[in-house]
């Protein structure tokens, strides 16, 4: 029995005949066969089990309908599965991205972790040496300072007494406390660097172990120290070096992969569930909000892992913020394109759309006010918009999609914990304000004597002139006679501070004010300055506070034996003598203390190795015809070196003669290449005579970006043979502003 297909309907029919000449009749399908599958229908036709119709008009096309329904059902099922797969992949991609970023962080920590281990090993409770110390007792490594740099304390202060080794008094008794010797008409000139013991006992500690970074070992060290975008204009420039740029590029690759991989944003093709994947960009932006919070707050967990202060990670806060802005813009743009393509108006009656629109407006406000030009000129507006925009972003995003609530909660927790952390690091104290020449304000806080590390900064608020906080580097070393800050008047708040300090009677001399101190923050992290064979400190203008604190700390700790450097060179660049004169008496006192320590150390080979302090002041805008009163002042107060040079011990030790403490003033600008090469030659010569492996040179520079770039290029240009001969050169940068 032949099978036939009706060409008009596509129905399958079977011709029935009694014989060759019989007229054919038609077997068609009854209603009971409609729900059968096409395979069952064909089998029924072949077996002849279907009921025969009496007339041709009863032909039914149920087989065609069943075939079409089955194909449509399968296609719909496949499309739904593809849509769910696309949605599941897009929702999981933020988790994969965070895992990849965590792996990148752990990889970076592998290179930085040895220095942290060395710092833990060298952390010992500080104890000043005394006469009763046994010189034969084995010394332990010190200088790790892991217990410092977290909280500010009143501690104990050293009361100057030339007749003794220095007595310790409780800091609560500050009646007789005297400020440092800054040149001011109404200001006393008493030393703040602490007394030098009349006798020099044997050292009780060893220098901390020196761990060379990977960048100083590989043959392409010079390339790794390069900052290719440092000399670009401010809006486009960055001081990031090659390793940091590599980390940023890896982050960009991870984000791009997370946004693009198996993500189809084109219109869905017929029969396919893939397409219009507009959620992926929104999920990526949402996942980076806790990261941008983590990089932006002062209680920085990432900084704790890598040994960097929050101010050094601000650049990554900006980079992640730009990624959020770009991903959010793509997310909003895709859905706007969808509405335009289907001619649908924006319906703000739903909570999700209102929340999403509020979050996008918040991102726009934060992004626009973060433009460098606007941020510099309207910093208060920038701070207010950042705070308000952050709250609007988290609240709006939580109402936009339910899946965003955990991410918003994590961001809020990070921000809250940071503020709790800041409150724990906040102290109320009474400060003395003195207006110095050249628009500089001296802030002394005698009740806070310890808790910070050299090179760290604090944020201060003075309710008398406003509650906004401003960061300043601590100019004094810990465990001294109090905290000292130098505030240069460069903005509105600092000018108010200088005017506030100036509005005092001449007889009174100083103004006392309540101050709120938050910190300490920043610093050199796991870099142990006492572990280097030589230290070069370069400062320009008010950057002297950073260099002065490091030099002060090293000179004070030298008697314990924890300082390996034989010489500390401090280079200060100022425009003229007026800028240097307020601080010059303090520098002289510091040099005199270093000289006294050198004299006592050189008197006997059993004493600790002397540590010299050489200060060079360069006047960049001083005419050749202009007299230099500072030169006569330094020469009249620097006679100790001449007496030392007459001694037999000094004459027998040429290395000590070259490294005697001194202070000098010169016109013009320093030639950094000559300075660094001279120091490198000294280190190589000294290590050769002592038959010891050198432990590198630490170069710490604080000043404007132009000076930082010059110092960086100088370190990169150092001859490779000398670079290896000194054990490597490391550069620590501190640029003006955050």
Domains and CATH numbers, the chain: 1-96 (no CATH), 134-143+169-205+524-735 (3.40.50.80), 226-264+278-422 (no CATH), 427-522 (2.40.30.10)
Select the more confidently predicted residue: 600 or 169: 600
Give 433's contacts (C-beta < 8 A, 6+ positions apart).
Answer: 441, 442, 443, 497, 500, 501, 510, 511, 512, 513
Question: In whole angstroms, how far apart are CA 13 and each of 6, 35, 59, 80, 642?
Answer: 7, 18, 8, 35, 124
Give 125's pLDDT tier (boundaries 50, 70, 90).
Answer: low
Give 30's pLDDT tier (boundaries 50, 70, 90).
Answer: very low
Residue with tokens 């007339």: 55
Give 395's pLDDT tier (boundaries 50, 70, 90).
Answer: very high
Q: What is the pLDDT of residues 640-681, one digit of tens each?
A: 444 434 333 333 444 444 457 999 999 999 999 999 999 999
∠ CA 168-172-176, nearest 5°, is: 70
656, HSE (Cβ side, Cα atoms, 13 Å)? 25
616 forms beta bridges with: 571, 664
Mean pLDDT computed over every residue of the chain: 81
Distance CA 383, CA 294 (A): 17
pLDDT of residue 330: 94
| Residue 281 pLDDT > 60 | yes
Tell me 24's DSSP state: P
Burial (0-12, 13-18, 19+ Cβ within 10 Å), 502: middle
Conformation bin of residue 737: beta by default, left when phi > 0, alpha when psi is -120 to 50: left
Select the more confidently predicted residue: 274 or 296: 296
Give 388's pLDDT tier (boundaries 50, 70, 90).
Answer: very high
pLDDT of residue 246: 96
Q: Is the peptide bond preceding residue 520 cis, with omega within 30 degrees of 0?
A: yes
∠ CA 501-507-511, nearest 5°, is: 25
Question: In whole angstroms, how far apart are CA 526 and each of 109, 181, 457, 694?
Answer: 12, 32, 16, 20
pLDDT of residue 565: 95
Give 27's pLDDT tier (boundaries 50, 70, 90).
Answer: very low
Q: What is the pLDDT of residues 141-169, one digit of tens each?
A: 888 999 899 999 987 544 333 333 333 23
Mean pLDDT, residues 339-366 taken together: 87
Select the more confidently predicted residue: 17 or 608: 608
| Residue 20 pLDDT > 50 | no
Give the 3-state DSSP-derived string for 483-519, with helices as H, strands as E and coil as C: EEEEEECCCHHHHHHHHHHHCCCCCCCCEEEEEEEEE
CB-CB contact of 324 with 281 (8 Å): no
Strand order in the sheet with 662-667: 662-667, 612-619, 567-574, 534-540, 697-703, 729-735
Select the more confidently predicted residue: 507 or 415: 415
Mean pLDDT, residues 513-533 taken together: 95
Query: pTM value?
Result: 0.82
| Residue 185 pLDDT > 80 | no
Task: Give me 118's structure tokens.
Answer: 């060395």
């Amino acid at each position: 029995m032949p099978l036939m297909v009706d060409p008009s309907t596509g129905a399958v029919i079977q011709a029935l005949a009694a014989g060759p000449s019989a007229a054919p009749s038609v077997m068609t399908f009854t209603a009971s066969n409609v729900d059968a599958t096409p395979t069952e229908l064909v089998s029924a036709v072949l077996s002849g089990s279907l009921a025969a119709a009496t007339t041709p008009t009863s032909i039914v096309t149920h087989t065609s309908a069943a075939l079409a329904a089955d194909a449509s059902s399968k296609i719909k099922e496949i499309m739904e599965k593809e849509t769910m797969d696309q949605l599941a992949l897009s929702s999981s991609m933020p988790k994969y991205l965070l895992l990849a970023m965590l792996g990148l962080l752990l990889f970076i920590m592998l290179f930085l972790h040895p220095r942290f281990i060395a710092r833990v090993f060298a952390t010992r409770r500080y104890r000043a040496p005394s006469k009763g110390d046994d010189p034969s007792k084995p010394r332990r490594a010190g200088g790790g300072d892991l217990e410092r740099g977290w909280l500010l304390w009143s501690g104990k202060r050293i009361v100057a007494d030339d007749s003794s080794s220095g007595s310790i008094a409780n800091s609560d008794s500050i009646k007789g406390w005297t400020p440092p010797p800054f040149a001011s008409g109404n200001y006393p000139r008493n030393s703040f660097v602490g007394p030098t013991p009349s006798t020099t006992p044997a050292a009780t500690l060893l220098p901390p172990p020196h761990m060379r970074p990977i960048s100083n070992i590989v043959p392409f060290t010079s390339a790794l120290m390069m900052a290719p975008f440092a000399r670009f204009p401010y809006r486009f420039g960055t001081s990031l070096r090659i390793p940091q740029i590599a980390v940023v590029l890896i982050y960009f690759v991870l984000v791009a992969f997370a946004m693009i991989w198996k993500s189809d944003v084109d219109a869905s093709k017929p029969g396919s569930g893939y397409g219009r994947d507009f959620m992926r960009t929104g999920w990526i932006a949402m996942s980076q909000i806790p990261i941008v919070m983590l990089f932006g707050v002062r209680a920085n967990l990432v900084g704790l892992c890598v040994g960097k202060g929050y101010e050094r990670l601000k650049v990554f806060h900006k980079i992640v913020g730009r990624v959020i802005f770009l991903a959010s813009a793509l997310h909003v743009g895709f859905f706007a394109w969808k509405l335009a393509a289907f001619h649908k108006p924006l319906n703000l009656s739903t909570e999700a759309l209102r929340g999403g629109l509020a979050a996008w407006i918040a991102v726009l406000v934060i992004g626009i006010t973060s433009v460098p030009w606007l941020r510099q000129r309207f910093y208060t507006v920038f701070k207010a918009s950042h705070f308000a925009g952050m709250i609007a972003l988290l609240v709006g995003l939580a109402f936009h999609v339910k899946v965003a609530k955990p991410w918003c909660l994590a961001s809020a927790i990070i921000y809250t914990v940071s503020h709790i952390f800041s409150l724990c690091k906040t102290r109320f104290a009474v400060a003395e304000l003195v207006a110095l020449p050249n628009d500089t304000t001296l802030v002394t806080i005698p009740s806070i004597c310890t808790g910070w590390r050299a090179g760290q900064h604090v944020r201060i608020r003075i309710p008398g002139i406003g509650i906004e906080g401003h960061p300043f580097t601590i100019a004094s070393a810990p465990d001294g006679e109090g905290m000292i800050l130098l505030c240069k008047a460069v903005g509105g708040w600092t000018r108010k501070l200088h005017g506030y300090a100036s509005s005092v009677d001449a007889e009174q001399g100083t103004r006392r004010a309540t101050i709120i101190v938050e910190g300490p923050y920043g610093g050199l992290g796991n870099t142990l300055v006492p572990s280097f064979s030589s230290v070069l400190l370069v400062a320009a203008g008010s950057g002297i506070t950073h260099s002065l604190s490091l030099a002060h700390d090293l000179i004070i700790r030298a008697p314990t034996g924890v300082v390996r450097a034989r010489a500390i060179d401090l280079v200060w660049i100022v425009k003229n003598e007026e800028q240097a004169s307020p601080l010059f008496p303090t520098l002289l006192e510091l040099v005199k203390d270093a000289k006294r320590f050198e004299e006592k150390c050189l008197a006997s080979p059993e004493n600790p190795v002397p540590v010299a302090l050489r200060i060079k002041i360069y006047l960049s805008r001083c005419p050749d015809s202009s007299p230099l009163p500072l030169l006569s002042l330094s020469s009249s107060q620097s006679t100790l070196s001449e007496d030392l040079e007459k001694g037999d011990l000094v004459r027998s030790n040429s290395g000590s003669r070259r490294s005697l403490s001194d202070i000098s003033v010169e016109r013009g600008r320093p030639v950094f290449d000559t300075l660094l090469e001279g120091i490198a030659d000294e280190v190589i010569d000294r290590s050769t005579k002592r038959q010891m492996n050198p432990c590198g040179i630490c170069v710490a520079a604080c000043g404007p970006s132009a000076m930082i770039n010059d110092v960086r290029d100088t370190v990169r240009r150092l001859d490779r043979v000398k670079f290896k001969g000194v054990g490597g050169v490391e550069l620590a940068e501190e640029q003006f502003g955050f």
